[in-house]
């Protein structure tokens, strides 16, 4: 039996390995008294979910990112086991739309939850108000990524349009129809299975 060739796999951070929305729900409830459930998050535009302006949603996300709630967030179910398997067979890179200013906190969380798992961590700044943004697809092309794991349809389609295979991790906020080149998966177990 031949050994499968090593691939470069790009992996989004928030809600793909880092349980952003589950932690943000706790933060919103305890800090602001807003009580929503994970299943209520049916769009990627959190200002619509939380019924607030874009500026206020950015402010609260920034507050969350610098809070203990961020540091205590759990990995997405199944991610730890899957990453442990995949890192032995492939080269893994985080490509996140987070801004550069939260690099330290992001890396600290990764070092705790996924020590030594990733060859690189790349910040595109797409989820920030200011400039300095780069497309995830551009980073993927520079890295020669073969496959990408994403939860947001907008990024999944952008990356797929660049000719890169995309796994879309099924979530309440990505239930719209996908492009034929985007493969919807229900779990990290399914991703591992399809990678072999």
- CATH number of the domain at 8-18+75-195, out of 1.10.3720.10, 3.90.550.10, 3.40.50.1000, 3.50.50.60? 3.40.50.1000
> Taking every pair of C-alpha atoms in the chain, what is the biggest distance, in angstroms?
57
Ranges of the chain whose pLDDT falls below 70: 1-4, 127-132
pLDDT at 128: 65
Reported as a single tens digit per residue, the pLDDT across 90-108 is 999 999 999 999 999 999 9
> Using alpha carbons only, what angle is made at residue 128 by residues 87 and 107, rounded to the nearest 5 degrees?
30
Reported as a single tens digit per residue, the pLDDT across 54-93 is 899 989 999 999 999 999 999 999 999 999 999 999 999 9
Q: By the 8 A CB rule, do 176 and 153 touch?
A: yes
pLDDT at 132: 62
Compute the Cα dihedral for 67, 100, 143, 160 and give only its sign.
Answer: positive
Which pTM was predicted? 0.94
pLDDT at 46: 86
């Amino acid at each position: 039996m031949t050994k499968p060739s090593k691939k470069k796999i790009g992996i989004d951070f928030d809600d793909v390995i880092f349980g952003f929305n589950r932690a943000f729900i706790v933060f919103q409830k305890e800090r602001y008294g807003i009580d929503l459930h994970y299943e209520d998050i049916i769009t990627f535009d959190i200002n619509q979910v939380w019924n607030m302006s874009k500026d206020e949603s950015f402010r609260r996300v920034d507050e969350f990112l610098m809070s203990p709630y961020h540091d205590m967030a759990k990995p997405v179910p199944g991610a730890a086991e899957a990453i442990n398997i995949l890192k032995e067979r492939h080269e893994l890179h985080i490509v996140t739309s987070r801004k550069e200013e939260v690099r330290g906190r992001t890396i600290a969380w990764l070092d705790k939850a996924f020590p030594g798992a990733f060859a690189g961590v790349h910040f595109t700044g797409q989820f920030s108000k200011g400039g300095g943004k780069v497309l995830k697809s551009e980073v993927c092309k520079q890295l020669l990524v073969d496959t990408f794991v994403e939860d947001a349809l907008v990024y999944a389609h952008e990356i797929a349009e660049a000719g890169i295979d995309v796994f879309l991790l099924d979530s309440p906020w990505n239930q719209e129809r996908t492009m034929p080149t985007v493969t919807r998966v229900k779990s990290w177990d399914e991703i591992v299975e399809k990678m072999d």
